[in-house]
Structure formats: C-alpha cells, structure tokens
A and B are shown apart, each in its own frame.
Chain A
C-alpha cells in the first residue's frame, strides 16, 4: 500500500477546486467534485457514516486524475492521490466483476502488443461500434517498436538508422562524435499509444531528436506506463509495469529518458515514486528511472540551456493552429517563459517558435479534453460532454489544426462525432509531429 496520506485533514472546504474540475462542470453536482470526493474519503476513513462501496466508487471513478484541483488548492490536499488510494482500497475490498474497462486493461497489459491493435480494430467494426455506442481510436500504421532494441544515431536520417536495429543487449553509447563534439544521448519511452496506435508520433519524436544531434535509444522491453491501471485501482499491475519499464532502461548510461506523452510523464514522474518504498525490490531502479524521465519539451529546454541551437523548420504553407495544453503537462520548476509562444503555452513554446509558418492562437480557458485515461472508457458519455465543452473554445479560435502533446488528449480530440459536422472535422496532431514535418520540409 502507498504511504498513508492524510492530507484530507487539510481541506477547509473553501470550494476553490470546484470551477476547475472537469467532472464537476458536467452537471455542477458536488458528488462528482474534488471537494465532495475529499469529504467522502474523510468520512470513509473516519467511519462516521456507513458509506456504500459502490456509491463511493461512483464518485471516485468520475475523477479524471487531471490534477487541476491540486494546482489551485491553497492547503496542499493531494486530491488525486486520495482518489487513487480510495480506488485501490475498494479494489482490494473485492470488486471483481467483468467490465469494459477490465477488458481494456487486460489488453493493455498483455505483452503481445498486437492484441491492443486487434481489439481496437474489432471495436471499430460498425456492428461493435453500434453495440458499445462509442468511438474507439483506429490504429494508424505499424507498431513503432518491434522485436529488437532500437538505436538512432544523431544527425543521420531516421530511415537509415531504423534499418539496422541493434540486437538485444547490444548497446553502444559514444560520448563524442568524430569531430570530438559531445553528443547527447537520450532514451525514448514511447508509451503504449504512441507505440501501437499512433506510431508516427514516435517516428516524429525520434526524428526531431536526431536532427538536433541527439542519439536515441529505444529498448524493446518497455510497455504501458501504468496510468490506466492506477486510475482503475489496480495497484499490482501498475507496479509490475513500472518495474518492467524501469528495468528496460536500467544500466544504459542515459542522462535523460524522453517521452512525448504528458500522461506518461505524469505517471512516471509523479506516481512511480509514491507507490514504491525504500525496502522494496527495484526501488532504486524505479527512482532512477523516474528522475531521468523528462518530457520532450523539457528536454529541448535542457539542450537550449547547454547552448545547443534548436533547429528551425519551415512549413510549406502557413498553418493556424491551437495548442491544447494537456492537464498532465507541466513545466520544469525553473522554467521562465520568454517568448510569446512560451508565455502562451509554456515549455512547448520553444519548439512552436522554431516552426516557420506555424501561427498559434490562444485558447481562452484551456479546458480539459475529457479523456482522463480510463475515464473515457468507463464514462464515455460524460467524457464526450467534457470534450464538447473543450470544442466550444476550440471552435471560437477556428484553427486549421489542433496540436497537443498527450496520447489521451489526442484520443479525445480526434473523436469529434456529435460535436462537429463530419466535413468540419479539425485534424489533430502532436506538436512534435508538425515540428518533424517542418524539419523534413514535407508538403
């Protein structure tokens, strides 16, 4: 069990968390709000009222773990942790029944990653689509990681490097290139979605890195970051995945491990250290992995700090876009925005600045997209209500493209049925995708 968190005692019920909570804003029902959840957890612990597990779960399961409440909380109540712990507690209490999220989780955990793609393909057959009443993402292209570890040399073309992957266990790390200049080496953590479903984003991430002189190592052993599991109260699977990922990168002498998924960063940076204690096996590896993992944007800012000029790209025609800031995307603590785009969207602004022809427009509120990991699977209808609200501000900005940097957000934002007319669907991409496109000079 995670260390006991009693921060619910700090809650003074001020209500500051209400307007920022995506689930509260669906219906303005406080049973589905951070303050309500904290009160339920407190009451459950104090045992002062007999609360029913099913009903507690109803409140907890509508939490998207977006963390917006924690950011505004004046009293440091760790609301997402309280919710996650409550789910774990209820799960252990015995709530083992078949449900759509259980099925999805089993597929995600499976080592044979091909299952995920097959499941999504089946879900997209019209018959099943109608049966479930929901839209599932359709896998695009081949998986990024195959049966071998991959290494991509700095400054060489991606295609060439990929054609000669390393054999398992064979990792050669050079500290300098032929001219004696230091080469940055980074690991790449793809996450399950950018590996299996939107693999182009992994290719684009690696391209952006290598074109900036970074050598990239991708171990094949990595898997899902575990966020969907912890958000479903399945601590055991979460920890198994965490250990698997930490060991996959162990001993590779990497300074940084980069991810382009905001939810993976959140899971690995914020949650991994919380659920392992120092007496546990692999504690050091987990902590080491967690410390080295860094978002792609923070990594580019590190390069900049080391005096490396980030390469500029150019789009063949001017593109008006918005950047949806994922709830789980945070800046490095010492990051101070300088340019207009950095002020608008934070660290990713550094890359946005390097893309000639990209015109970013501000989003008024930067609402949540409604994905929230398993929330979208468990409460599809509620999730789409949140997405709909998101599109109110997106439509107002009238972009040609929606950019973001989280796998969950891409899922939710792509699913625009019932929100915009079929012929008005706005394309969704990862900001790194459009950067890679600009570097390649593609049309």
Chain B
C-alpha cells in the first residue's frame, strides 16, 4: 500500500483514528469464520462525509479495496479484507440519532450493537424484533448487511422487514439516501432492500432507519418433545396456522437432543424424544395466557412425550439454557465445526433431516442439527477433527451434498449468515451464469471500480 494513503488518512482523521502497525492490523484480520486476511490500514470514521472522503481517497490511490466492519462476528467472512486494503471500522459510529415516536422509526449509526438498541427501545416501551444469536455483540450495520434473523423471525420476520431508509456511500464515494419513513414507498427501484443483505458489497452504510413496534407486555414458554418426528412436524404446522402464531418455534432434532442430553442438568426439564420444540407466545398478559392454553391443547393431540409450560422467569431461563447448551455440547464431537445455515420450505424439513441423518451415516461423521422451524432455517453442524485430514475432506464432501440437497428442495444456501467467502463456490449450484452476471452487473452500477468488499458472494 502507498504510504501516502496512510498519511492522508492520518491528516484527515487524526492519528488516533488510523491503525497501521502489524500488531494492530492483526486484530482486524479475522471474523467468526476460520479464515483470516491482513488489512493494510484500519480507519475509524465518525460520519458519512468522512466515509465519502475515505472512498474517494481509495479511488485516488490505485483503487485500494475497502471493507466495512462492525463487531467482526460474521459467519461468512463478510468483513474480512480478502484483498488487503482498508478496513473501515464502524465501532465509533454507535449513536442513536433519532427516535421518531410518532411515526415509530428509529435512526441509528451502523456501529450500534443490536442489544444496546433493543435495551434503549425497551425502556421507552418499543421493540426491535430481529434477534440473531449474536445480538448481544453484533452491530446493526452488520445485521443490515447480512439481513440477519433469529428465533423471532417466525412471527416478526428478519432485518430486511424493518429497514426503512439508508444513507449509503457508493463505490464512487457519493452519498445517497434510499427509502423513507413510510410503509408505502414505490418511487423507483427498492434500493433499500437491495442494500439490505448485500453483504457490504454495494456500499457502506452511514445511517440506518428502522421500523419499530410496541413492546409486547409478556411472554411464556413451552418445551415439548415427540417420539415420532411426524407428530412433531404436524403439531408445529398446526401452530403456524394460528392467527396468534408463536413468537418462537425452535427445534432440536434427534442428533442435537442426543448431544445436549449428557451435559444438560435440570430438575424440571427433560431433554428427551426425537423431535423437541421450544415455543414462545408473546403479547398482552391475556393474549399470552390464551395462546399458551391453545398451544397446549393442540400439542397434546399429537401425543408428546414431554410438555412443560411456564411463565416464571427462572423456568424460562432453564428452558432457554437447554437451547444454549447445544453449542458447548458440540465440542465433544470435534474441534472443527462446519456450520451451515441452510433454509428449506417448512414442509421439506422432515425430508432434509432424514437426508442429514443419511449423510452422517454415509461419511461416518457427526452431523448435529437444530434450528428455527418457523422459517425452515436449519443449522447443520458438521463436526470434524481438525488434525484428521481424511475426515476434513469428508466434511467438505458432506457440506457439498447438504447444499446440493438444499437447492433440490428449493431452499436457500444461507438463511442467516450470508454467502461471503464461505459459500461462494456453491452459488453455481443454485444459479446459472446468466443470473450471476446480473448480480455482477448490479455491483458494477454501484461500485464501477470494484473496490467495495471485492471478491465476495460471486
């Protein structure tokens, strides 16, 4: 990298907002994947104007690549500086700019942590539903870039359902404003939603306006399990058809029940059966009571082996602890995890789970599955021994089979994490050359010199 570019950054932002020493750059070379790439400089802008100047400087200096980064907690490599260059850290841009209570929108800077926004809104009686597993540490900017979702998606949808307007800096360093604080908006192409989930490849966000809801007053949980997977499947489908559908419908299949069983200890909760659900109802106190009654009535018709419902916070914690126990329980199967976040149409979940069981047997490697039933999002964890080359190779093959099957079932390669670097090579399973060339051309429109997060997705 041209030293002059670093000097110009330092003159513009001050030395304390530019990092360029190896030891510092090292701390910006990774995310939650197992890949790493060293950036050449890290800059900390404070607003859109500064980002615009940063992009223009990069164009001036040999089209230096730029990658946006929040908490660097992504699972697909979206914030990795694949081609070196500049990492734009948004962590100092973490303010809430405006709470518009009349229109029910909040405008934030991209570096704010999802949980911080949630807790700010909650105190004022509002609610921002998207809850990726990383919500306590991932940033809203990253959430928008990946269109993240979590358990609440079954009732409330994902990030893209809440992004109303954006301030974006394009690959030419121009600042544009998309969307508006209206629910109805058909003036021109919907660029807001195009940017949402674009994995940081079309531009850098500097302001994000999100739709907010009123906070539900109460919630209650049910933990239920079935021996027969078809009973479980039919029970869950019945719940989804209700007008008051659950606000969470998480499942564990046989493999993850087996995995959690040995490490999870509770006096009140049994991890048992072959198909287990954690179900939440939210709303007013009366609505919750009514929903829980209704859910229990329906579930019991499908002969569950275990059913436990509670509104007490300590019981709810115990139930959620069972869900949280999955991740640590996986470690006994291996030190390398290939984590896939495929999504299939809900009615294809049983087919997919059967296929995963077969795959595990075929390659003789543990494949542990759990996920969000309501949106067909299955976390497929292929567990490997890092130092066993043969096994790692088999793991790669298993991953290929799983993604191929996903496409056959008309599903999505990624439900939550994005394509980034992790699934780039699998895009051709889903899309033909013409489709990919459309994506490439869209990128060219916003980023003609290919400097914004180059080398990702396709």
Contact = CB atoms under 8 A, between A and B. Distances in A.
Contacts of B34: 12
Nearest to A14: B32
Contacts of A52: 23
B73 A14 contact: yes
Interface in A60-77: 74-75
Given A13-B72, A30-B28, A55 B21 contact: yes
Contacts of B89: 28, 30
Contacts of B31: 13, 15
B73 A28 contact: no
A16 B89 CA distance: 17
Nearest to B111: A28
Interface centre among B21, B24, B116, B328 (most CB of A within 10 A): B24
B92 interface: yes
Nearest to A29: B19
Contacts of B72: 13, 15, 30
Contacts of B113: 19
Contacts of A58: 23
Interface string A11-55: 011111011000000011111010110011001000001111001
A56 interface: yes
A59 interface: yes
Contacts of A18: 71, 137
Contact of A13 (B32, B44, B111): B32
A40 B327 CA distance: 25
Interface of A: 12-16, 18-19, 27-31, 33, 35-36, 39-40, 43, 49-52, 55-56, 58-59, 74-75
Nearest to B22: A49
A16 B27 CA distance: 15
25 contacts: A12-B32, A13-B72, A14-B73, A15-B72, A16-B134, A28-B44, A28-B111, A29-B91, A30-B28, A30-B91, A31-B19, A36-B26, A39-B26, A39-B29, A40-B27, A49-B22, A49-B26, A50-B22, A51-B22, A55-B22, A55-B24, A56-B23, A58-B23, A59-B23, A74-B327
A74 B19 contact: no
At the interface, is chain B mostly helix, strand, loop or mixed?
Answer: loop
Interface of B: 16, 19, 21-24, 26-32, 34, 44, 71-73, 89, 91-92, 94, 111, 113, 115-116, 134, 136-138, 327-328, 331
Contacts of A28: 44, 89, 91-92, 94, 111
B21 to A, nearest CB: 6
Contacts of B115: 19
A51 B26 CA distance: 10
A40 B21 CA distance: 13
Contacts of A19: 113, 115-116, 136-137
Contacts of B30: 13, 39
User: Which 5 pairs from chain A and chain B are nearest by CB?
Assistant: A36-B27, A28-B91, A15-B73, A55-B23, A30-B27
Contacts of A12: 32, 34
A51 B27 contact: no
A58 B26 CA distance: 14
Contact of B328 (A30, A35, A74): A74
Contacts of B137: 14-16, 18-19
